[in-house]
Amino acid sequence: MALPPSLLIRTAKTIWTTLWRTMMAQMAPSDKGGAYQRPDSEFCDRIPSSTFPSDAQRYRLIVGMGCPWAHRTLIVRTLKGLDRAIPITIVSPSGNEGCWVFDQPSAMDSLGCRTMPQFYDKAQSGYQGRATVPLLWDTQTNTIVNNESAEIIEILNNAFNDWATHPEMNLYPTELQPEIDQWNKRIYHNVNNGVYRCGFAQTQTAYTTACNELFEALDDIDTTLASQRYLCGSQLTLTDIRLFTTLIRFDVAYYGLFKCNRRRISDYENLSGYVRDIYQLPGVAATCDVDAIKRDYFGNLFPLNPGGIIPLGPDLANLQAPHGRASL
Ligand SMILES: N[C@@H](CCC(=O)N[C@@H](CS)C(=O)NCC(=O)O)C(=O)O
């Protein structure tokens, strides 16, 4: 005998909402108002230092191709020409285990780890924090150097110039640092983490605040980019790379899955050309794995997309179109 629909709906809603809240609390810690609170990164050593001297092939980057934070490190590694000096290991998300897993035999197999949490535990026994990517690993002492992308990209920019194919490329020049730092602060809160603050919001108010702040920042950035090629003028810097990895995921994932749907990046006149400009820099397109982005976001963030269906669009052929920004 079928249940009366209203009872069925009420029961399903109660169970579903309770499960959703429980899973969201685990996946996305929030404050009392339901706003997402990203946990701080816990490993913040630098290279060069007395413990971690600069050296080629000693350090390894562990990345996930869908992850915007890991993507920053891949782009800086590529632009600097550090492919030989800093090898990478790619991990994939395991939807069932809720963590990153090593899917191919890797140089670190000798450590006997299959998942990122096991790997963090090797570096710090009993580690209870988030086992995030990207991770800069020291293969000599078998420990973590750094797991904060904002710091790893500074390390990659500075510490390995003796082995870099493009040592002359300085993405964090001293004279631009105050301006870069200012952009970073605004872009991190409103855009990089802003899209997560929309998608991981657990109340309407938290979502509305995040969404308003996100689009206010994007509107301002679009205006800035009307008269200059990059955020700090004519020179590409770390702040552009930090912005780019969010923008390239925007129409693909954040617009739909994270409800960042006031406008697409492709609707912005200047931001859309800016994305094409950076995408077309030598080596950058090869770091952009759109299938992995779709798979990792739509396929693995179960509380946001329980059916796991991965959308077919959008059409990104336009990324190869002329950007017309060189004259700015
Ligand atoms: N602050 C970190 C954040 C990195 C981060 O949140 N990475 C995500 C993937 S996009 C992750 O590994 N999450 C796994 C988890 O939180 O358990 C950074 O920028 O390096």
- Give distance in angstroms: CA of 70 to centre of ligand 1: 8
Torsional sign, CA 247, 251, 96, 30: positive
Q: Which is more confident, 98 or 233?
A: 233
Residue 143's pLDDT band, with cuts at 50, 70 and 90, is very high
pLDDT digits (tens, 9 = 90+) for 85-128: 999 999 999 988 889 998 766 655 667 888 999 999 999 999 99
Sheet with 99-102, strands from edge to edge, namely 99-102, 88-94, 59-64, 135-138, 143-146
Nearest CA to 88 out of 97, 98, 67 is that of 67
Output the pLDDT for position 325.
97
Decide: 149 in ligand 1 pocket, CB within 6 A. Answer: yes
Is 304 within 8 Å of 199 (Cβ atoms)? yes
Q: Residue 30's beta-bridge partner residues?
A: 36
For range 195-213, the mean pLDDT: 98
For range 68-95, the mean pLDDT: 96
What percent of the chain is predicted at pLDDT more than 90?
A: 92
Q: Which CATH number fits domain 174-287: 1.25.40.20, 3.40.50.300, 1.20.1050.10, 1.10.357.10?
A: 1.20.1050.10
What distance in Å separates the CA atoms of residue 248 and residue 183, rounded to the nearest whole number?
Answer: 18
Q: Is 254 designated active site?
A: no
Where are the extended beta strands (E) located within the chain? 59-64, 88-94, 99-102, 135-138, 143-146
Count other Cβ atoms within 10 Å, centred on residue 126: 5
Q: Please identify which of the residues 36, 120, 196, 268 carries the catalytic annotation.
A: 196
pTM: 0.96
Look at residue 200 and tell me whether its pLDDT is greater than 80: yes
Cis peptide before 48 (omega within 30 of 0): yes
Look at residue 2 and tell me whether its pLDDT is greater than 80: no
pLDDT digits (tens, 9 = 90+) for 220-229: 999 999 999 9
Fold of 59-158: Glutaredoxin (3.40.30)
Is 35 within 8 Å of 41 (Cβ atoms)? no
- Give distance in angstroms: CA of 38 to centre of ligand 1: 9
Q: What angle do CA 231, 237, 240 make, to 5 degrees?
A: 55
130: left (phi over 0), alpha (psi -120 to 50) or beta: beta
Q: Which residue has the tokens 């285990």?
A: 97
Domain segments of the chain as ranges: 59-158, 174-287
Averaged pLDDT score across all residues of the chain: 95
- Give distance in angstroms: CA of 313 to centre of ligand 1: 25
Q: Tell me the chain's radius of gyration from C-alpha atoms.
A: 21
Residue 64 CA: nearest ligand 1 atom is 9
